Amino acid sequence: MKLGFVSAILPELSLPEVARFAAEAGYTCVELMCWPVSKADRRYAGVTHVDVTNFTRAQADHVREVLAEAGVELSGLGYYPNPLTPDRDEAQKCIKHLQKVIRAAPLLGCDRVNTFIGRDWTKSVDDNWPQFRKVWKPLIGLAEQQGVKIGIENCPMSFTRDEWPGGKNLATSPAIWRRMFHDIPSANFGLNFDPSHFVWQQMDYLKPLREFRERLFHVHAKDVRIDRHRLDDVGILATPLEYHVPKLPGLGDVDWGRLFSVLGDTGYDGPVCVEVEDRAFEGSLASRQAALHQSATYLRNFVAG
């Protein structure tokens, strides 16, 4: 496996700076953020380390050079919008930009794009389903044509009152994954697996690794800590951030030794990218970089360097 990180945590660094930092901190790959250039509408969104809007082969070659110079690989392109948002204009913009990201990948010599399914958060899973099929069949078709694997992150995007009740991403559970992969049966449609979301959903994050081994395209290394005293007070019907906290790997409830143990046995040999969303490390660029240093130290216990 290859250890990397998600570039969203270093928005003030340029691409060459990100690449150099990755190499110095002992990472061998990086997932580069490809949001359209604009103001972010939520934390960790809106970062643009590769601007794919009018992407040329020259620009692509430049990115490849920068990474090659630093000795760091591209684990995948990342863009995590809500293509099923009820605002259909907004949804259309997301879809268009996602198409550009998919087309940019092969120019960069990369076959992985990571994103969300999206969801109309005011509706049930069933009621979102027709729109899911309508939007995603052509997207996966495009990915097949471009030789790109789409890794859907299993984040419910449901943390506070703003996303209540349904969250902004359908792909939250093995039960739903089965339905997705059944309805759009493509070998280019898979997962960007993040164990932390299974923790607060009270689910086993090891079991699905076996069933979905063929679908594991990318892995995010994020941790969460469930705070029992809060959960005892508000219960699972509260919004999730009322009782759990995103943390760096090793500071939460994920058993990373066991995770990498089963992951290795499934034959997974792709990127594992640290995703920093730990508020205790958000104070400054320096502390976010310290977070990446510490995460590399910790994960090197389980991922061969």
Among 141, 187, 279, 285, binds a copy of itself (CB under 8 A): 279
| Residues between 72 and 91 that touch a copy of itself (CB under 8 A) | none
Residue 252 interacts with a copy of itself (CB under 8 A): yes or no: yes
For position 261 contacting a copy of itself by CB under 8 A, the verdict is yes
Q: Which is nearer to a copy of itself, 39 or 228 (CB)?
A: 228
Indicate whether 204 belongs to the interface with a copy of itself (CB under 8 A): yes
Q: Choose between 58 and 237: whose C-beta lies nearer to a copy of itself.
A: 237
The Cα 49–Cα 56 span in angstroms is 15
Question: What's the token pair of residue 28?
Answer: 């061998």
User: Is residue 43 a contact residue for a copy of itself (CB under 8 A)?
Assistant: no
Q: How far is the CB of 35 from a copy of itself (least distance, A)?
A: 26
By CB under 8 A, residue 142 contacts a copy of itself: no
Please answer whether residues 223 and 246 qualify as being in contact, where contact means their C-beta atoms are separated by less than 8 angstroms: yes
Residue identified by tokens 């990915």 is 143
Least distance CB 237 / a copy of itself (angstroms)? 6
Q: Does 124 bind a copy of itself (CB under 8 A)?
A: yes
Q: Please choose, from the candidates 35, 44, 4, 45, the residue with its C-alpha nearest in 3D space to the C-alpha of residue 22.
A: 4
> Which residue, 217 or 302, has its beta carbon nearer to a copy of itself?
302
Question: Is residue 23 a contact point for a copy of itself (CB under 8 A)?
Answer: no
28 makes contact with a copy of itself (CB under 8 A): no
Shortest Å distance, C-beta 176 to a copy of itself: 8
CB atoms within 10 A of CB 95: 17
d(CA 135, CA 130): 9
- CB 281 to a copy of itself: min, Å: 7
Q: How many residues bind a copy of itself (CB under 8 A)?
A: 61
* Minimum CB distance to a copy of itself smaller for 64 or for 293: 293
Q: Does 185 bind a copy of itself (CB under 8 A)?
A: no
For residue 286, count other CB atoms closer than 10 A to its CB.
Answer: 9
Rule CB under 8 A: is residue 231 a binding residue for a copy of itself?
yes
**Residue 305 binds a copy of itself (CB under 8 A):** yes
Quick one: tokens of 175? 């039960």
53, 92, 160, 301: residue in contact with a copy of itself (rule CB under 8 A): 301
Binds a copy of itself by CB under 8 A, chosen from 156, 190, 195, 270: 156
Instruction: Name the residues that contact a copy of itself, by CB under 8 A.
Output: 124, 126, 156, 158, 161, 164-167, 172-175, 198, 200-204, 207, 225, 228-229, 231-238, 245, 247, 250-252, 257-258, 260-262, 264-265, 267, 278-281, 287, 290-291, 293-294, 297-298, 300-305
